Amino acid sequence: MGPMTILVTGAGGYLGQATVRAALARGHRVRALVRRAVDLPGAVPANMPATMPPAMPAAMPPGVEVFSADLAQGGPIPGRAALDVGAVIHCAARLSGPEAAIIRDTVTATEGLFHAILTTGQQPRMVLVSSLSVYGAGGLPPGALLDETCPLETRGHLRDAYTRAKMAQEGAALRLAAAGRLPLWLIRPGIIWGPGHLANPHLGIGLGPLLLRAGAGQLPIAHVDHVAAALVAAAETRPDGAEALNILDDDLPTRARWLAAAGGAGIVIPLHWRVPDALAGLLAPLAPRLPGLLRRPTLRARLMPLTYTNGRARARLDWQPGTPFADAMRAAHP
């Protein structure tokens, strides 16, 4: 399809900046929405007075219009940010912190965005960045394939705040998209990684400098550039109502292969996932008050061996996440 105007929320974040670059590379016009001016050093939002000079060189590439708004506060999106856009890629969210803050910046902000789009009377394609964490992976048998047909999590109270927020975010997006007949992609990436982002909660249990590394199974990773390219490809493709796609790299390493390539893991001791799983089973009556990896659904979602596929995304989108793991890791961790 030809060039269009794409609004990217959370454009100052790690994934948001990569998505802006990917959209520009495909020839699209980009409007970047950030929460505050300071979220994007040096860029003067288009809805702020031009007399406010940038303090640093602009972080956005030339030609990108930057707008500032706190979506969680509700109300219309400022200025012309949402006018005549062909697609909205919603990257804005909070990954950590107090649960109330995660809900505010993930769920409430999503509701604010959809309401703002609905008030324009337009029907752009909505591309929501969700997460593989919404699946009930802990209910699958070891070694199972996790794909878009797998059931969603039903034990959110035993998962982490991020997972609960993503579950609620998807629910809000589905409800509001249906109300406004907005075409909706639910994009569920694996663990987003790349330069400066090599932390991986699926490796095992960290105890200071000690890592109790889980054993077999693939790591569900998705390089930031692969995810950004998938988001733009989704913006270019009309979904069948509301559709979900899992976004993962083609080359998924084992935990041992990841650690060998990344290095610097300190003291690593292999640990069969069944050992902490048995402990979590014994502590099940106390689970709601225990740390995440002592709650069985969380532990299994992170450490139990599973396999993953990006087959549906490859079939539905013009998207090829072909960079080999070793090459991507060398670039991320020279």
Tens of pLDDT along the chain (334 residues) come to 789 999 999 999 999 999 999 999 999 999 999 986 544 444 444 443 332 233 223 478 998 999 999 999 877 787 788 889 999 999 999 988 899 999 999 999 999 999 999 999 999 999 999 999 999 999 999 999 999 999 999 999 999 999 999 999 999 999 999 999 999 999 999 999 999 999 999 999 988 888 999 988 899 999 999 999 999 999 999 999 999 999 999 999 999 999 999 986 689 999 999 999 999 899 988 888 888 788 999 999 999 999 999 999 999 999 999 899 999 999 998 6
For 143, the 3-state DSSP assignment is coil
Residue 38: predicted pLDDT: 44
Q: How far is it, in rounded angstroms, from Cα 283 to Cα 290?
A: 9
In the CATH scheme, what is the homologous superfamily, with its name and number, of domain 5-197+219-251+308-329? NAD(P)-binding Rossmann-like Domain (3.40.50.720)
Q: How far is it, in rounded angstroms, from Cα 39 to Cα 50?
A: 18
Residue 322: predicted pLDDT: 85
Q: At 90, list the tokens.
A: 């919603």
Residue 215: predicted pLDDT: 84
Would you say the C-alpha torsion 74, 66, 35, 95 has a positive or negative sign?
Answer: positive
| Domain chopping of the chain, boundaries | 5-197+219-251+308-329
Kindly give the pairing relationship between strand 65-68 and strand 221-223: unpaired
